Structure 1
Amino acid sequence: MPHPMPLAVSDLNTALNDANWDALVIVGESFDHTLPTELIEKINEIKAADNRVGNTLLTFITDVVAQKRVVLAPTGPLNRYFDDSRRYYDAAKNAASTLLAMGSTKPLLVVLDNDDIKFQNATLVSYLGFGQAFWEPLEAREALGDSIEPVAMVGVVGNNFDAAEAAAIANGQYVARDLCGTEPERMAAPRFAEYCQQQFEGTNVSVSVVDDMKTLETEYPLLWAVARASIQVERHQPRVIRLEYVPNGNIEQTLMLVGKGIVYDTGGADLKTGGHMAGMSRDKGGAAAVAGFMKAVSELAPVGIKVVAEIAAVRNSIGAEAFVADEIITGHSGVRVRIGNTDAEGRLVMADLLSRLREEALDEINPSLFTVATLTGHAARAFGPYTALVENGVARANNLGNKMVEQGDLVADPCETSLSRREDYDFVRPRTKADDLLSSNNGPSATTARGHQFPMAFLSIVSGLDKHDLDSDQPLPYVHIDIAGSGVDGGDWQHGKPSAAPVSALVKTFIG
């Protein structure tokens, strides 16, 4: 992994004369500069007879370059204020699909950079677009063989390209796609844990798995409630997976992440109906992204940064043991939670893990906490394909969300921030003295006002983080990351390829 591995090629002319590469892809806004004169003349000759040159993806054959097969992948305009690095990502991804149809197995990628600083990572982004196009689901590789991913290496020519960093991010994205995009039996909770153990075996990331049912019941009561109906089926039993990277030398910063790993979501007693259950094997996208981020961290081995990730891998099943609305369950923090809707299970499985990490964070150096989840339809409705970030007061004061927005735009992994407001905390307030907190309302989040913002308030209170905000002697920054709109291509949760959001945004923001 990843597919394909990048090989940085420093000299363009040498690369174009190297017949070891079997196809040439050129990504850029136009094709009248940077390239050798003979190649530009050939492109202009074709352009004189074909208006598609520079306007749409185009292929041709020529003896001007050793690769002979050429794919021109125009980005479209780059001069408008709303143009961002996804222009390069999309162009490269489309070109990669054409390469597969051609039968290319060793392409050369040439990226014609734009001088605008917002396209500074154009070469990296184009390479990552290749990775998205070439990935095939884990079950497909296991059934048909690795040959269905025929491209093992790509030569890369372009500015500001660090091949090691690119490979690490692509490896992380590959892991995230595997975990998110795999069907519910192949990636049931125990097998999710096994995949993580295999990925990090012999690396600088330690893996521990809580698989004892009594421990899960007593130490993770809210997670256990969601898992209750799955316990009787051994292959569906829940797991808590901990991944930890500790750098050599002094620690200057600690990142602590919780990932929602609902390996299948029936909705529980509030059963999903009308076809809405299809695609719910991807409700583990947040956990998948967290594991993918840890894969990138492992390969980059950052100095001075400790990273701890915990994953709640749970199946939300329906059955006689299923938890139901109106139950009151006391979480790890001691907060009594009244269940509003069993289909709002993701926040529950993360709650106890976040509470435990909150306790740990008090003894860590410069900690920041995150939850990553495919949590609400409202995030997709509000922001479309953008990752939603909801910060507590400390995170906002530290500008964490805006940093992720800035870096995400530079690596085609865009995010948008939402303010946490008093209405969000009012929404989850207790209605009686019997409980301390309401998990949700009983309507769809997509049609609920502030449907993606109020879950952050719930998670803050249920984990005890509300006691560590700006007015605390021990403030802890916390960002809730909702990828319900960004987690798959085209918003198609049943068939779209997992996007691996927000792996690259997290890496570029916090790892360097």
Structure 2
Amino acid sequence: MEIRCSTTTAGSWSGDALVVGLFSGGASQATEALLGQRFGESLSQQLERRRFKGKAGETVSFSLLSQQPSSVVLVGLGEPAGFNSEQLRQATASGIKAATAAAASSIGIAMPLEGFAPAAAATAMAEATRLIQFTDQRFKGESDPKTQASSIELLGLPEGALSEAAAAVSSTGAMCSGVELARELVAAPPNVVTPAALADTAARIAGDFGLELKVLERSDCEALGMGSYLAVAQGSDLPPKFIHLTYRPQGTAERRLVLVGKGLTFDSGGYNLKTAGSQIEMMKYDMGGSAAVLGAMRAIAELKPAGVEVHMIVAACENMISGGAIHPGAIVKASNGKTIEINNTDAEGRLTLADALVYACKLEPDAVVDLATLTGACVIALGEEIAGLWSPNDGLADALRHAAEVGGENLWRMPLRASYRAGLKSGLADMKNTGPRPGGSITAALFLQDFVNGEIPWAHLDIAGTVWSDKGRGLDPAGATGFGVRTLVNWVCAGGPA
């Protein structure tokens, strides 16, 4: 699929389907008049019959016999005052979805771009255009027929900004490839995406883009004292894989950043077995954090940002039940020497992240960011469209929120309340792995903080609610969303910490 930037307007573009965004309340009179001149009064009459008002999310399609374009899609944008980059993405995605449903091969998109930087607008539209057309039919015997446009033109861009916008669109290919990789990893079944498969994915990225890869086996992790991580892995027949992937820029690296992703390729809950209604069959997506950091590294490797060295850490394993699985009540020692009483084997992600964060901090980075499908409590607090953000560092938190906003992802900063740490106290060990039910996502973040060097800026993103969508939302199809990739890539390419 080719995406091009063009100064051509909706009044003169020719192709299969024309997508036009219209504000409500008569705010797009000039555009409506232009369409009327081109397609005649019949279009206005059809609009009246279909009661199109230009409300946000409203979409109508018209077939035009013996004309080019042969199809027109009108997308409601709502009031002009509320039209921002997120609405631009959503409107573009809605229009593309309707146009491809009409089997259009070539599509022109005309949206009001006043007030937008041309490169930013082109990026938002290009990402929406590609990501909304993503389909995953790898595991179907017979693929569902689905049309994908072969060429897309972003219309009405200023002449003087055309080259800048085109360069921005070109870079979206790497970003979208990273998101699509993350979606494919999360969507694949747990008998396909295993710890070894995650290591193989890292190896392919390293081979394709010249990155460095180190994979620590169980014995290597034992030598490093990773008792917390290995306690989770010991119940599975599949060996754990501790994955360390590194991007080094050409020239001097002014910043060193570490991305850590939770890598539970399947989570049964262990002896605190997930029960009916717990969606145990969906626990393949408990490696959503690792998928996000792998997708981000794939994009970073292609974009080649200057001046920043990026490390990716994934402590991959399964949480299973067997005669060798860790017992509830067991005490283990992490690689920083802290002892942990495991009072719930279903709070396993933080145990793997504990040793991963200790390892990350030994790299002496300028910042560490971890992503994890960590707690159901975060889903209850923020729902399925917003990920939780915890960080004691204001600059890092603000930089991540800005990077998320640019990428069309949503973060909400949550408190790291020190007094809640009392819930993690153990009478036998240095700490327990879970606290009381109230504030569960906060105590989980506080647990992780104990394994981070306090002098290193650190942030934790709980993406439990955002990694999957049953019905699809925005740019995301039903299923895996690839959440987190755009935030991480935007943050890294901006240079890291604020």
Task: Please give the range of the TM-score, normalised by the shorter of the 2 chains.
Answer: 0.7 to 0.9
Letter in 1 for 2:254: E
Choose the corresponding residue for 2:246, options 244, 247, 260.
244
Q: How does 1:496-507 map to 2 (within 5 A)?
A: 496-507=478-489
Choose the corresponding residue for 1:216, options 213, 221, 236.
221
Distance in 2 (alpha carbons) for counterparts of 1:146 and 1:45: 36
> Equivalent residue of 1:24, what SS?
strand
Q: CA deviation at 1:137?
A: 2.5
Report what 2:60 is aligned to: 58
Distance in 2 (alpha carbons) for counterparts of 1:279 and 1:492: 16
Q: TM-score, normalised by structure 1?
A: 0.84
Choose the corresponding residue for 1:26, options 20, 25, 41.
20
Report what 2:357 is aligned to: 354
Q: Which contiguous aligned blocks of 4+ residues in structure 1 show a shift greater than 6 angstroms?
A: none
Q: CA deviation at 1:350?
A: 1.4
Q: CA deviation at 1:262?
A: 1.1
Letter in 2 for 1:26: V
Gaps of 5+ in 1: 470-474
Map Cα deviations across residues 283-326 of structure 1 (whole Å, 9 max, x no partner): 11111111111122112111101111111221111121111221
Distance in 1 (alpha carbons) for counterparts of 2:18 and 2:31: 12
Report what 1:102 is aligned to: 102
Does residue 459 in structure 1 map to residue 409 in structure 2? Answer: no
Choose the corresponding residue for 2:212, options 206, 215, 222.
206
Report what 1:374 is aligned to: 373
> Equivalent residue of 2:345, what SS?
coil
Report what 2:416 is aligned to: 420
Report what 1:450 is aligned to: 439
Distance in 1 (alpha carbons) for counterparts of 2:341 and 2:286: 23
Q: CA deviation at 1:16?
A: 5.0
Q: How does 1:105-120 map to 2 (within 5 A)?
A: 105-115=105-115
Q: TM-score, normalised by structure 2?
A: 0.86
Letter in 2 for 1:125: A
Letter in 1 for 2:485: V
Does residue 406 in structure 1 map to residue 402 in structure 2? Answer: yes
Report what 2:5 is aligned to: 9
Q: CA deviation at 1:64?
A: 10
Report what 1:391 is aligned to: 391
Q: 1:324 to 1:137 in 2, by over 3 A?
A: farther
Choose the corresponding residue for 2:460, options 472, 476, 480.
480
Gaps of 5+ in 2: 158-163
Residue pair 1:6, 1:167 contacting (<8 A) in 2 also: no
> Equivalent residue of 2:109, what SS?
strand
Residue pair 1:123, 1:158 contacting (<8 A) in 2 also: no
Q: 1:273 to 1:101 in 2, by over 3 A?
A: same
Distance in 2 (alpha carbons) for counterparts of 1:344 and 1:241: 21
Q: CA deviation at 1:266?
A: 0.8
Q: How does 1:178-189 map to 2 (within 5 A)?
A: 178-189=184-195
Residue pair 1:27, 1:88 contacting (<8 A) in 2 also: no
Report what 2:348 is aligned to: 345
Does residue 257 in structure 1 map to residue 263 in structure 2? Answer: no
Distance in 1 (alpha carbons) for counterparts of 2:102 and 2:434: 51
Distance in 2 (alpha carbons) for counterparts of 1:509 and 1:34: 39
Distance in 1 (alpha carbons) for counterparts of 2:346 and 2:72: 50
Q: CA deviation at 1:497?
A: 2.2
Distance in 2 (alpha carbons) for counterparts of 1:284 and 1:299: 23
Q: How does 1:270-285 map to 2 (within 5 A)?
A: 270-276=272-278, 277-285=280-288
Bigger Cα displacement from structure 2, 265-274 vs 128-137: 128-137
Residue pair 1:17, 1:65 contacting (<8 A) in 2 also: no
Q: 1:403 to 1:299 in 2, by over 3 A?
A: same
Distance in 1 (alpha carbons) for counterparts of 2:486 and 2:230: 32
Q: 1:9 to 1:66 in 2, by over 3 A?
A: farther
Residue pair 2:88, 2:125 contacting (<8 A) in 1 also: yes
> Equivalent residue of 1:202, what SS?
helix
> Equivalent residue of 1:435, what SS?
coil
Matched pairs, number: 472
Distance in 2 (alpha carbons) for counterparts of 1:459 and 1:40: 60
Distance in 1 (alpha carbons) for counterparts of 2:142 and 2:105: 17
Choose the corresponding residue for 1:170, options 150, 172, 176.
176
Report what 1:154 is aligned to: 152
Does residue 49 in structure 1 map to residue 52 in structure 2? Answer: no
> Equivalent residue of 1:344, what SS?
coil
Residue pair 1:53, 1:72 contacting (<8 A) in 2 also: no
Q: CA deviation at 1:347?
A: 0.9
Distance in 1 (alpha carbons) for counterparts of 2:402 and 2:314: 27
> Equivalent residue of 1:201, what SS?
helix
Residue pair 1:136, 1:149 contacting (<8 A) in 2 also: no
Q: CA deviation at 1:506?
A: 2.3
Distance in 1 (alpha carbons) for counterparts of 2:286 and 2:64: 47
Distance in 2 (alpha carbons) for counterparts of 1:489 and 1:428: 32
Does residue 335 in structure 1 map to residue 329 in structure 2? Answer: no
Report what 1:77 is aligned to: 79
Does residue 305 in structure 1 map to residue 339 in structure 2? Answer: no
Letter in 2 for 1:266: S
Taking only the aligned residue pairs, the percentage that are identical comes to: 23
